[in-house]
Amino acid sequence: MSAYLKAVENTMTVNAEQRGMTGLKQENELKHTAEDLIRSQTICMVTGFCIKKQGAGETDGPLGTVALAYALTKLGKRVIIVTDRYSSRMLKNSLACLGLMLELRMIDQDNPETIYDTILAAPNGHILAIERPGRAKDGKRYSMSGEDISDIVPDADALFQWAHDNGIKTSAIGDGGNEIGMGKIRAHIESNVYLGEQIAAVFPTDNLIVAGTSNWGSHALAAVLSVMTGQMLMYDEEAEMALLKVLVDSGAVDGCTGAHSETVDGISLEQYMSVFRRIRAIAIAELKREDSAI
């Protein structure tokens, strides 16, 4: 693994030990995901994790999705975002904040198959879950505390299974073990994560990025895409702060505290932004290094 890839991975996994995610071997997951995205023409991103007590989507996931949408559209990719009613308004407003005019589709609680054509009609398609609840072994979807959220979170696993069965590449970004894609490391989750036996998601995506927060994993992927394509695809710190504000103003809550605050997963804003800045700085430094080597 190159030095810059290792640096990005080490940075995005800050806070992972708090989730029981230390000791994971993730070599080349960032690289392989980026390579698959570069080869794809249409990328469908599925996000949105509703916090049941608040009846609102959380700040982790949608922000990372919009950050990646920004990067991918700069590469000329067609991007489609899929979510549910708890996160749709915040995504719509966040996309507008960056001036992105993208297709935003909703998963129907009773008929999730109605969005299959989103992928079916896509040439060189790729589907990516970012902090999206996944089915556990009992078929239910759970929060990190073991709360059954199946009644409010539409099933997106079926879409990923359908994509897999049709030869479409699947990827995921998560942080807790209960998200789509985590079936790839299910044994680790069941052994190391609190309530892992109960909440572990079972669907294994082709690629899986595990980070301290899913937003950081998304930024890490944007950083790697930047280096691989030789152009800066990450927006700046001002845009990240603006998106956090838009999310909260649109009803988003912190996924761990449940508060309507410009924070992610109970992490202070200072620490959260410091990780974003470090990931971006690594990408900028590597791009400069490659330019000077030419």
Domain that residue 33 falls in: 3-293
Tell me the per-residue pLDDT of 204-228, one tens digit each, with 9 for 90 and over.
999 999 999 999 999 999 999 999 9
Residue pair 40/169 in contact (Cβ under 8 Å)? The answer is yes
50: left (phi over 0), alpha (psi -120 to 50) or beta: beta
Q: Is 75 exposed, middle or buried (0-12, 13-18, 19+ CB in 10 A)?
A: middle
pTM: 0.96
Q: What is the pLDDT of residue 113?
A: 66
How far, in Å, CA of 157 to CA of 75, rounded?
A: 28
Q: Residue 55 sits in a domain of what CATH number?
A: 3.90.1640.20
Q: Alpha-carbon distance 4 to 142, whole Å?
A: 35
| Structure confidence at residue 27 as a pLDDT band (50, 70, 90) | confident
Number of domains making up the chain: 1
pLDDT of 223-276, one tens digit each? Answer: 999 999 999 999 999 999 999 999 999 999 999 999 999 999 999 999 999 999
Interatomic CA distance for residues 244 and 64, integer angstroms: 10
Return the structure tokens found at 240.
Answer: 């990240």
Start-to-end CA span in the chain (Å):
21
